Amino acid sequence: MSSIIFDAHCHVWPDKIAAKALAGRVSFMEAGFDGTVSGLETSLERCGIDKTVVMGIADHARHVHRTNEFIGALNSARMIPFGTVHPELSVEENLDSLRRNNVVGVKLHPLFQKFRLDDERIWALLEAFGDEIPVIAHVGKGGTPETDELATPQMIADIADNFPELRLVATHFGGFHRFDEANELVVGKNVVLETSWPPTLSDLQKERVVETIRRHGVHRVVFGSDWPMSDPAVEMDVVRNLGLTTEEVDGILGENLNRWINGENIKAAQA
């Protein structure tokens, strides 16, 4: 059992809009949970999760500040708030919203926010973040054929190359439903990989997952469930049953992320 269990990938919404926000969010997948803060708290208790990154996403620029107010208010020993930015706002407006609301980091979700990861306005934000504001970015498919091209493995590889100081996590092993492409372009890059693959990581061949983890370096792989789309308890069991060592499992399920969130450069650490 890991000394700390830390989920890198949980989405929440205010109670009054959670059901609407989740309705048809991913056309080929139903959410397993309700997306509310209380629902997440119940899941954390049931699964024995010590900490989680909670994410708020504003699909439109006009909702950025309100979203950051909501997600920032959840800041606690257990919930680490990752808020939102939008390229239609200036760099200064985005940074002000994050800082005023005590938001720790940023979640970029191009599929829902309708921008490209290689948008020069996004790159201007990443430049401003430096090594101060960590970023967790969706990479890969999950939307329409058009939106599926907004966050590709090549784009995340380019960001990793151009912003070496950026504290960057790429979700879904660097490319949801683009596993081969991610292995070619992202694995081995200066980026932390996150394990979620909803509805379950067990959909991927175990041997390929282990090979990817070892090639990238187990010390820079972190566990994520993508709650409410997936059940953290099920996903933790998948990681535990990959055939990794106890030390490696402990790192993935919490210790790696705990070091990363506290500012340690695990991308440069030794396995």
CATH superfamily of the domain spanning 6-261:
Metal-dependent hydrolases (3.20.20.140)
**Max Cα distance, the chain (Å):** 47
Label residues 33-54 b or e (16+ Cβ within 10 Å = b): bbbbbebbeebbeebebbbbbb
pLDDT, mean over the chain: 95
pLDDT tens readout for residues 147-187? 999 999 999 999 999 999 999 999 999 999 999 999 999 99
For the entire predicted model, the pTM comes to: 0.95
Specify the pLDDT at position 269: 56
Could you tell me the two tokens for 97? 């919203």
Q: Please list the helix, strand and coil fractions of the chain in percent, rounded to the nearest 5, in that order.
A: 45, 15, 45
Per-residue pLDDT of the chain (271 residues; tens, 9 = 90+): 448 999 999 999 999 999 999 987 776 778 899 999 999 999 999 999 999 999 999 999 999 999 999 999 999 999 999 999 999 999 999 999 999 999 999 999 999 999 999 999 999 999 999 999 999 999 999 989 999 999 999 999 999 999 999 999 999 999 999 999 999 999 999 999 999 999 999 999 999 999 999 999 999 999 999 999 999 999 999 999 999 999 999 999 999 999 999 988 776 655 4
Whole-number Å distance between alpha carbons of 235 and 137: 20
Q: What torsion, rounded to 10 degrees, do the Cα atoms 166, 167, 169, 170 define?
A: 10
E strands present in 34-191:
51-55, 79-83, 105-108, 135-137, 168-170
Specify the pLDDT at position 197: 98
Q: Is 268 exposed, middle or buried (0-12, 13-18, 19+ CB in 10 A)?
A: exposed
Specify the pLDDT at position 263: 85
Q: Do 136 and 171 contact (CB within 8 A), yes or no?
A: yes
Query: What's 149's DSSP letter?
Result: G
- Give domain limits for the chain: 6-261
pLDDT tens readout for residues 48-83? 999 999 999 999 999 999 999 999 999 999 999 999
- Residue 126, Cβ neighbours under 10 Å: how many? 22
Grouping H, G, I as helix, E, B as strand and the rest as coil, residue 148 is: helix
